[in-house]
Chains A and B, each alone.
Chain A
Amino acid sequence: MSYITEILPQLLDGLKLTVLVFILTLILSIPLGMVLAFLLRIPIVKWFVNLYVWIMRGTPLLVQLIIIFYALPMVGPTLPRFPAALLAFTLNYAAYFAEIFRGGIKAVPNGQLEAAKVLKLSKWQTIRYIQMPQVVKIVLPSVFNEIITLVKDSSLIYVVGLGDLLRAGKIAMSRDVSLVPIMMAALIYLIFIGILTILSKKIEQRFDYYK
């Protein structure tokens, strides 16, 4: 027990960075994904977006982190560790979110857009008042699925030398030759994701007011 209280501060210290990467990635990648999803409806532009989505989903996030932190400085700016990690996560997750939102936009019946059209709503008003609110409800379960994956993916930031929850656990495991730290790290992830799951159910319930 005393061992647990001894290493807990180290783990919680790592957790701070995990949570920070998690929150900032969400704040940046969800709006970006939404923009990409709407760009997918413009001819020609959509080919570039498709190429982008293919590359982002088709290569390991770990490799993307390495490229942005280690290879980008050879041809462009050198980013500090944290911004580099955040950039890689945002670009990667935006691609996944774009695909989720694309599906959500497609799921809104065409008749809804025609109804908006005969009611003289502009394109933007149709997106804002008719499509977006319905898309949000449709995509919620998939978005939360992705969000939960992000919590665990965030551990990949070790590759650019950042110390998160999992890394704190691994360091303690090697140093003390004990499985307890890594199990505790897993437990903290489990609690974190448990909270997110409850939150997702609550939010989904709030959208139950219509069918």
Chain B
Amino acid sequence: MLELKNITKKFGDKVIFDGFDLTITSGEVVAIAGPSGGGKTTLLRMLAGLETIDAGQVIFDGEVVELDALITRNLLGFVFQDFQLFPHMTVLENLILSPMKTMQVSKEVAIAKAEELLSNLEVIEQKNAYPFSLSGGQKQRVALARAMMIDPKIIGYDEPTSALDPALRDQVANLILENKKLGMTQIVVTHDMDFAEKIADTIIKVNAKLD
């Protein structure tokens, strides 16, 4: 279970969060919805360690996580809106880089794990392809697989439908629901309420109270 207590975040004079609380139960899908500029993505970025948290508490499974340790704690695997696959590496290389370099996993073990993930996500045939040759949906699956390679506690998606064809929206929804069946905790930032209702156990509207 992830608990956020009394989170405060400002950009200069602009208050993004003031005394924000959130509890996410393990295995659930939480959608964070609301118009742009409301801090949805900021929340995700704070949990990934990409933005600092000014004040407040982050508690994971009863243990307080130091605010400046979020980047090293690997709480949140981040799937970027525009995927941010490394263009000069093949799909497989994108996946195995971090485990090999940061977790001292052997290449064989990393490849085995990557291939299993890619198979589950049905992009194994693209393992030796470079990102530019993939479709949007394939890129997203690879980005998800890459995030999962380092065993984060939670997977966070930043606007997973916005860079994709509307027709692919259902595919993304299914992907998230599939992962839920596997027991994964997921946070999905989206401005699309229909999508949020389709996938989420809980929908949190940020910024509604801030206006």
Contacts and interface: CB of A to CB of B under 8 A. Distances in A.
B35 interface: no
Nearest to A136: B88
Interface in A111-156: 111-112, 114-115, 117-122, 125, 129-130, 133-134, 137
Contacts of A121: 97-98, 101-102
Interface in B99-143: 101-102, 130-132
B102 A120 contact: yes
A112 B50 contact: no
B78 interface: yes
Nearest to B85: A115
B40 interface: no
A3 interface: no
Contacts of B49: 117-118
Contacts of A130: 86
Interface residues of B, number: 26
A interface: dominant SS: helix
Given A120-B150, A210-B131, A114 B84 contact: yes
A118 B102 contact: no
A210 B102 contact: no
Interface residues on A, range: 20 to 34
Interface string B22-61: 0000000000000000000000000011100000000000
Interface in B59-92: 71-72, 74, 76-78, 80, 82, 84-88
Given A115-B86, A118-B147, 17 more contacts: A115-B80, A118-B76, A118-B77, A119-B97, A119-B102, A120-B74, A121-B97, A121-B98, A121-B101, A129-B86, A129-B97, A129-B101, A134-B88, A137-B88, A210-B88, A210-B132, A211-B87
Interchain residue pairs A-B with the least CB separation, the first 3: A115-B84, A119-B98, A211-B132
Interface of B: 48-50, 71-72, 74, 76-78, 80, 82, 84-88, 97-98, 101-102, 130-132, 146-147, 150
26 contacts: A111-B80, A112-B84, A114-B78, A114-B84, A115-B78, A115-B80, A115-B84, A115-B85, A115-B86, A117-B49, A117-B50, A118-B48, A118-B78, A120-B102, A120-B150, A121-B98, A125-B101, A125-B102, A129-B86, A129-B97, A129-B101, A133-B88, A134-B87, A210-B88, A210-B131, A210-B132
